[in-house]
Amino acid sequence: MKVLSGCMKASMDNALASMDLTSAQGHIMGYLAQRSQPPCSRDIEETFHLSHPTVSGLLSRLEKKDFIELRPDETDRRCKRIYMLPKGKELNETMGRVILDNEAQVVAGFSPEERELFTSMLLRAIDNMGASACIRKTKEESDT
């Protein structure tokens, strides 16, 4: 599992590197794509357990690369809202394709029955680790 996870991470890291982005920046862009409303930088600090200076640096670099735009909140000037720009949306589409390609590659050569069994076993392993609620929540957020 560790090797498989490493291979999938390397594939995503390569895709991000081709766009001059770090893994941390990719995670933030994925988070932004799942949000229905533009979050504040403070939300990212809390979600990823990062310090204010770290988040400020990450967001500043994303803004310089035209992936996001930071704007003051209309009601709370202390809050900077993070808006995804078209280049950021394009990045998330690319990341989505990489994820789908990885998933297809993992089960390449599996019969439909083997795919079903593999998925079932993975879900059971996730349940065994107590992570099923987290996985379901992540899926629900991405569906909205």
pLDDT in tens, 21-61: 888 899 999 999 999 999 999 999 999 999 999 999 999 99
Do residues 68 and 132 both lie within one domain?
no
For the stretch 40-71, what's the b/e string if a residue is b when 16 or more beta carbons lie within 10 angstroms of its beta carbon?
bbebbbeeeebeeeebbebbebbeebebbebe
Tokens in use for 1?
Answer: 């599992």
Do residues 30 and 90 both lie within one domain?
yes
Do residues 17 and 78 both lie within one domain?
yes
Dist CA 70 CA 17 (whole Å): 23
**For the chain, what is the domain count?**
2
Do residues 95 and 32 both lie within one domain?
yes
Do residues 71 and 21 both lie within one domain?
yes
Q: Give the global pTM.
A: 0.71
Do residues 128 and 101 both lie within one domain?
no
